[in-house]
Structure 1
Amino acid sequence: MAEYADREHYIPVRVTDLIDYLASDAGPAGGQPLTPDDQTRFRRFARAVTLHIHALYHAELRQLEDSYASFDPDGDPKPLKKLDPGASAAAQKELFGTFTHLMGRANYTHLSRPELEVVMAGASDWGIDMDIPWGAFDQVEVFVRGKGMSKRFKRNWRNRFRLEEVRVPTFNRVAVIFKQRPHKRLGKEADTDSVFLKLFKDIPQMDIEMLLPGGRVKMPWFERVKLGGSLSSTVGYVGWKLSAANLGGLAAALFAGSTAALLALYAPVALVLGYGYKTWYSFQVSKQTYSLQLTQSLYYQNLDNNAGVMYRLLDEAEEQECRETLLSYFYLWRYAADRGWTAAELDDYVELDLERRLNMEVDFEIADALAKLERAGIVSKTGDRYRAVPLEAAQATLDQMWQQYPSRGIPASGGA
């Protein structure tokens, strides 16, 4: 069973398209298509699988809604009873734990604080390095999925400031969950009672800090050097002018209110203040320009907020579980025959087939899918080899499970 450090578990294909792809399977050589009857039976089985998984996730969605209700800044209506501090802390811990578990099932990677600081070091050509006030968060977690390259356009002085295309490494998806605490960076009106959820797409890897509130723009080293150099040179010039003058006579003239003495000092002092203000103002303009670009960019890169993030991610986790379940059963049923396959053999076959025919390089997560199929009774295990039960028997098992859902408190919206 191959393991890949550069591949993710996420399978980038819609469940509906995957069912069509499997039903039209014609074998490795292309000459063994499923019969029309087998296609019909497999499609019915696949529909039953998706309905069962949806029913289970619907129950989980209700639990998540209840956990988030007390922390939802957009909740309407609000809960009738407000949690006391002790209960709120326990509920917050449970919410963050549940969300982290959900992100794992949706095949997101959790970035720890040290990992975040490494990723956030510096800035891309479209960002400005920012200082994040970690003390402003009671708790904050960041999750990413998918590494890719996105197109950006910039003007380069080497190319006479014409627009040129540049490829920048990005995270395809970034999810953030955080709860704030009182902090001067957030202002007096900051909401410190709610838990905020944010979901973004195509974020440059080095600019992930721009998604967190309270960040303060760092002055680039070039601007620091320019400001420091300007001040040092002008202060040196003032010192030289003063050393060249008769300090005793100049002091006496200043004390007497001499206009000439004041004019003698005006030029170097104005030079110091002018250079300093010009550099500071230039940096402020850069900050404002970046803030505008950031607002315009995130307008299109923001996918969802707060409760909407939960619904979207739960749907992604549901789809991923459907993909893994259908792929595992299908290849066992279609190719493993009576001898069966080990988990490693099934894992390798699925990965190779997806890569060969769909050009998808994934690290198939086989263990969880096989465990679910075995518990459901539609895959059997002897020793280390797995076999799919016949399609008719698997369908009957799913139909029987469906009838048991109402007694287990799981809503069933329709038959399989």
Structure 2
Amino acid sequence: MVVVPSVRERFIPIRKADLVDGLANSKMVTPNDRDAFLRFSSILDSLFHFEFHAKTETLKENYHPFNPDNDTVSVRRFSHEARKVHEDRLMHAFKDVLNQANYQQITATDLTYAMNRESLFKINLLVDFDDFENQLVFRRGAQSHRIRRKKWLFKEETIDITVYDRVALIIKYKDEPYFKALKRKDLNFDPGTMIVKLFKNIPKGDLEMLFPNAQVRMKLKDKLLMGGFAVGGGITVILKASAGLVAMASILWLMSRSVIVGSGEIPSLGPVEISGMVGGVTAIAAIGAFLFKQWNSYKNRKIKFMKTLGDNLYFKNLDNNAGVFYHIIADAEEEEFKEALLGYVFLAESKGGLTASALDDAIEDWFKTTYDTPIDFEIEDALGKLKRLKLCEIAGTADTGQPVWRAVSLTEAGKRLDFLWDNFFQMQATHV
């Protein structure tokens, strides 16, 4: 398998610790400022951590009425209206955190593509979206993989596929009356609950395998292959059994004719007739055994497909339900920190200041040169965070009419972050 460079993504694929270390040892931070820079980075990281702690609690609180894994005693009942309020808040908060973690929403077009595309794992799946009342599917990172696979017998082909590094989804099942009306039994989920999933390395053409109600269906060539064997075997069995069936049918006809239009009694059977009846019963048993073998072969093939699906999902599943919130929150917290840190360092290095577009280009060029990694830096988000933390200010206006931004000194930045840290909880209370 060959991995081909993908299009630029908003995601910054460098660990937080590695980025801090790389910037601290770059020419943009002087040796004299290195300790101050590391303290600045530590406080900035801590501020984002406490901000996202509140988001974690929001997600957990609103997920509680729908969590199928609750292990605490419920002390209140949620009305239908209250559940709807919690559902809307949860969807909004989850979508917001995923966006901060630089995930992108997967469109209905992408899902249609997955349903119609031939699966990389040679499995066809059917998903009934009517089972869901609400759903969100997001992805992060997209790599182009070139792979070789068997096409038919000994023939191989090379294909290009898009693989998503991360896929997160949240699904709200419809309530119990919907499934009762359809007389659906033996459900492997609780109606009215929500599931949250996080996966890795998912081919774009196989998104449908992530849905909990995906049902295996055979490909056309599998049906034709099995059908061909079934028809060929069936003809052979019927030809072999035909003599016995004809003999048995003849004897039964004679017996019934004797009862109906003859003496009214069942005639006695001689050795020849008994042999014919035995041959007929044997023929019926042979046909029954053949049909059972074909049905069992279909069931075994379906089980094999399900095992292939399960094996793939086992190694691609990263987290489930409430655990996904912690995972995504950690990602979002790190992405927000990295964006703010990069924005500040590059502004601070430019003594005269930079426009938003110039700052964006400088950061993206540095990433390409330093890490050989193309990114689509979120400049507006980065500047928004720096303005909120009062770490930058407008220094003037460029010839293009764009504002020129300048970072405050590292000493001043440290003081401002220190003040925010000391008064963090008071400011949070004021906002509440």
C-alpha contact (below 8 Å) 2:143/2:163 kept by paired residues: yes
| Distance change >3 Å, CA 375–CA 160, structure 1 → 2 | closer
C-alpha contact (below 8 Å) 1:219/1:283 kept by paired residues: no
| Distance change >3 Å, CA 404–CA 287, structure 1 → 2 | same
Distance 1:266 1:169 in 2: 56
Alpha-carbon offset, residue 12 of structure 1 = 0.7
Distance 1:11 1:119 in 2: 27
Partner of 2:48: 53
| Distance change >3 Å, CA 237–CA 76, structure 1 → 2 | closer
Q: How does 1:165-176 map to 2 (within 5 A)?
A: 169-176=162-169
Q: How does 1:194-213 map to 2 (within 5 A)?
A: 194-213=193-212
Question: Which digits, 9 at most, give the CA deviation of each residue in 1:261-318, with x for residues without a partner?
Answer: 99689869966x7776555433322221232233333232211111110011011000
Distance 2:226 2:101 in 1: 48
Partner of 2:335: 320
Alpha-carbon offset, residue 19 of structure 1 = 0.8
Partner of 2:262: none
SS at match of 1:210: helix
SS at match of 1:409: helix
Aligned-pair RMSD on alpha carbons? 3.8
SS at match of 1:120: helix
Larger Rg: 2
Letter aligned with residue 115 of structure 1: D
Distance 1:285 1:175 in 2: 32
SS at match of 1:341: coil
Letter aligned with residue 85 of structure 1: H
SS at match of 2:338: helix
Partner of 2:62: 67
C-alpha contact (below 8 Å) 1:70/1:78 kept by paired residues: no
1:397 corresponds to 2:416: yes
Aligned length: 393
| Distance change >3 Å, CA 152–CA 311, structure 1 → 2 | farther
C-alpha contact (below 8 Å) 1:9/1:364 kept by paired residues: yes
SS at match of 2:65: coil
SS at match of 2:172: strand
Alpha-carbon offset, residue 375 of structure 1 = 2.5
Alpha-carbon offset, residue 141 of structure 1 = 2.0
Partner of 1:35: 30
Alpha-carbon offset, residue 82 of structure 1 = 1.7
Distance 1:65 1:196 in 2: 13
Larger displacement relative to structure 2 (211-220 or 115-124): 115-124
Larger displacement relative to structure 2 (178-187 or 92-101): 178-187
1:377 corresponds to 2:378: no
Partner of 1:256: 254
Q: How does 1:157-196 map to 2 (within 5 A)?
A: 169-181=162-174, 182=176, 183=179, 187-188=186-187, 190-196=189-195
| Distance change >3 Å, CA 344–CA 274, structure 1 → 2 | farther
Partner of 1:343: 356
Distance 2:298 2:230 in 1: 15
SS at match of 1:172: strand
Alpha-carbon offset, residue 407 of structure 1 = 1.4
| Distance change >3 Å, CA 34–CA 99, structure 1 → 2 | closer
C-alpha contact (below 8 Å) 1:136/1:185 kept by paired residues: no
SS at match of 2:66: coil
Distance 2:368 2:205 in 1: 30
Partner of 2:265: none
Alpha-carbon offset, residue 126 of structure 1 = 2.1
Letter aligned with residue 80 of structure 2: P
Question: Which digits, 9 at most, give the CA deviation of each residue in 1:13-68, with x for residues without a partner?
Answer: 11111111111112xxxxxx643221122112111211111121112222222112
Normalising by structure 2, report the TM-score.
0.79
Letter aligned with residue 205 of structure 2: M
Alpha-carbon offset, residue 206 of structure 1 = 2.2
Distance 2:357 2:412 in 1: 25
SS at match of 2:35: helix
C-alpha contact (below 8 Å) 2:144/2:162 kept by paired residues: yes
SS at match of 2:71: coil
C-alpha contact (below 8 Å) 2:391/2:408 kept by paired residues: yes
Distance 1:50 1:128 in 2: 44
| Distance change >3 Å, CA 189–CA 128, structure 1 → 2 | closer
Letter aligned with residue 256 of structure 1: L
Partner of 2:129: 134
Alpha-carbon offset, residue 152 of structure 1 = 8.6
Partner of 1:21: 22
SS at match of 1:363: coil
C-alpha contact (below 8 Å) 2:230/2:294 kept by paired residues: no
